[in-house]
């Protein structure tokens, strides 16, 4: 059997250690930064580094109510349009008055004052998806309106997600 010089054996051992170190570090998460280590955040699944906010309880006291049959503006905002469609996820609460029957309600999304989509409002999350009708790069005014269509009580809602999409 041929003699292998000791310096080559030492180099092979060093390379094996380095390969083990690289293989081990490929399966670990990066060190926590002040943003990722803050309470209320957890890493995105599979990435280990992107923080995702955890939902926190929020009182509905500050939400604007709609209490009659006329359309009431509940949320307004302006944005530059980058996509041909807009999607809005809205948290909705319908509160009954004395008789305990929840009122029937409706919400709609307006783009530059033009109704884009409407939907029945039921307690929970309502998904609104509509074409924007504004050229890309142009500013647009968005408004979320609500009204009662039957019964008495209040409609409360607030948008939770509002973003552009390329298709339905």
> Residue for token digits 């690289």?
22
Q: Give the Cα-Cα-Cα angle 124, 71, 130 (nearest 5 degrees).
A: 60
Q: So what's the pLDDT on residue 65? A: 87
Contacts for 8 with CB less than 8 Å, ≥ 6 apart: none
Q: So what's the pLDDT on residue 15? A: 92
Three-state DSSP at 77 gives: strand
Q: So what's the pLDDT on residue 71? A: 93
CA distance linking residue 76 with residue 162, whole number of Å: 12
pLDDT by position in tens, the chain (length 168): 566 777 888 889 999 999 888 877 666 666 666 666 666 655 555 554 444 455 555 666 677 888 889 999 998 888 888 888 888 888 888 888 877 788 889 999 999 999 999 888 777 888 889 888 888 888 889 899 999 988 888 888 888 888 888 866
Whether residue 167 contacts residue 86, with contact meaning beta carbons closer than 8 Å, is answered with no
> Residue for token digits 């390329």?
166
CA distance linking residue 129 with residue 139, whole number of Å: 19
CATH class of domain segment(s) 64-165: mainly beta
Residue spans of the domains in the chain: they are: 64-165
Q: pLDDT digit string (tens) for 37-59?
A: 666 655 555 554 444 455 555 66
């Amino acid at each position: 059997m041929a003699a292998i010089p000791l310096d080559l054996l030492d180099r092979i051992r060093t390379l094996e250690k380095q390969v083990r170190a690289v293989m081990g570090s490929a399966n670990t998460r990066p060190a926590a930064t002040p943003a990722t280590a803050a309470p209320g955040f957890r890493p995105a699944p599979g990435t280990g580094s992107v923080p995702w906010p955890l939902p926190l309880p929020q009182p509905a006291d500050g939400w604007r109510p709609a209490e009659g049959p006329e359309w009431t503006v509940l949320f307004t905002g302006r944005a530059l349009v980058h996509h041909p469609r807009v999607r809005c996820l809205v948290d909705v609460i319908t509160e009954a008055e004395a008789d305990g029957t929840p009122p029937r309600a409706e919400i709609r999304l307006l783009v530059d004052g033009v109704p884009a989509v409407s939907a029945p409002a039921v307690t929970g999350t309502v998904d609104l998806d509509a074409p924007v009708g504004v050229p890309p790069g142009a500013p647009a005014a968005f408004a979320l309106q609500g009204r009662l269509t039957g019964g008495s009580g209040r409609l409360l809602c607030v948008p939770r997600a509002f973003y552009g999409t390329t298709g339905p």
